[in-house]
Amino acid sequence: MSGSTVSPERIRSAEPEWSLDVPIAPEAVVQRIARAINLPKKRLLGLLKTEREYVGVVGGQDFEIWERQGRAVHAVGRVRAVRGGSRLEARFVVTPRTRLLLMLFFPLYVLAAFGIAAQGVHGISLTSLGAAIVGALVLASIFALAARTQRGQLRQFLEKMFVEERGL
């Protein structure tokens, strides 16, 4: 899968987090996914995004999808033939790029927080140390909530593509 950020071997060997059975042929499922992604940007007055835009790569029976401006979490999966149709299987993964940025960002935050705390009259106090730790926990919570939200949005996007076949 050209353009993918995650190793296909890593995904195939892992248990899927999400799956969906649909009563249509695997080739039709792959075509529907390919038609639903990489659409032209829809903007109001050329500036404001009016709806979520999904981009990705489809190759053979494998796919990788992410939201255009929410690149941290990707849905990486494949379509398999099963009796009576197809099964979509996907894992929601944090990309290596995002992991690298987080591994760089948090130590920088810690250094900055302790540098600011150490500039006080009495050096590093228990209060400033506590504030730095609370700040790190708040940042980690924000990142975790954003990743959870992106996973939910990707799951919803995949499910919405096959609403008619599922009779919902």
Show the DSSP H helices in 58-162 as ranges. 96-118, 126-160
pLDDT at residue 55 greater than cutoff 80: yes
Give the count of domains, the chain.
Answer: 1
Find out whether 155 and 18 touch, Cβ atoms under 8 Å. yes
pLDDT for res 115: 83
pLDDT for res 112: 87
Q: Per-residue pLDDT averaged across 48-62, rounded?
A: 89
Calculate the average pLDDT of the chain: 86
Find out whether 59 and 1 touch, Cβ atoms under 8 Å. yes
pLDDT at residue 71 greater than cutoff 60: yes
Percent of the chain with pLDDT over 90: 52
pLDDT bracket for residue 6 (50, 70, 90): low
DSSP 51-65: S--EEEEEETTEEEE
Q: Which residues contact 37 (CB under 8 A, 6 or more apart)?
A: 54, 55, 56, 58, 65
pLDDT for res 8: 55
Q: Per-residue pLDDT averaged across 90-105, rounded?
A: 92
Q: CA triplet 14, 31, 61: central angle to 5 degrees?
A: 30
First to last CA, the chain: 32
Q: CA triplet 138, 143, 149: central angle to 5 degrees?
A: 125
- Over residues 123-155, the pLDDT tens digits come to 777 888 888 889 889 988 999 999 999 999 999
Q: Per-residue pLDDT averaged across 96-100, rounded?
A: 92
Domain span at 42: 1-168
pLDDT bracket for residue 70 (50, 70, 90): confident
